Amino acid sequence: MQVSLSRRAFFSGRGAQPVVAPFRPPWSRAEQHFVDLCTHCNECRDVCAEQIIVLGGGGYPEVDFQNGECSFCGDCAQVCEPGAIVAAHVFEALPWNLGVELSANCLSQNGVMCRVCGERCDARAIRFQLAVGGNALPVIDQSSCTGCGACIAPCPVGALEIKRFENEDQLEELS
């Protein structure tokens, strides 16, 4: 894990803060290899029909789930000539190791009827279970979640967040 030690953090005694890698397009190589190979051509961004690939820090492509969801069409991988996104593994390997987590400000968890996230989840990874008092609470099945982000933008209170899970180097092992 990389760390960032800002001058202010150093002198205030807070120390180094871990650097969290941004969410890259599906089937991207591990972060360091991705950065080494990416030429900033923006072909992946231009070809993304969902328009979720945006220009990120350093000019590298990142995925912004506030713009929509990933359909896993594979177009971004097909146009990536430098190989930062592994086209050979499209549809053979999991596109990434992302899933969603629910925060405490979820409307359903606070007694307000809302099922927007479950209605948007094509993978049916978000289900609702009745709880005492008649309110249905969301339950996320991470094994079914594709990390597509369909539930992120529609949530009226931003209660869902994309998280990176284990097996970060899965695509590197396949290469």
Known binding residues for [4Fe-4S] cluster are: 38, 41, 44, 48, 70, 73, 76, 80, 145, 148, 151, 155
CA 12 to CA 170: how far, in whole Å?
Answer: 38
Kindly give, in sequence order, each residue whose CB lies less than 8 Å from that of residue 43, ignoring residues fewer than 6 positions away. Answer: 76, 79, 80, 81
Biggest CA-to-CA distance, the chain: 56
Residue with tokens 């990874």: 125
Q: Which amino acids are annotated as binding site, given as ranges?
A: 38, 41, 44, 48, 70, 73, 76, 80, 145, 148, 151, 155
Strand partners, 63: 53
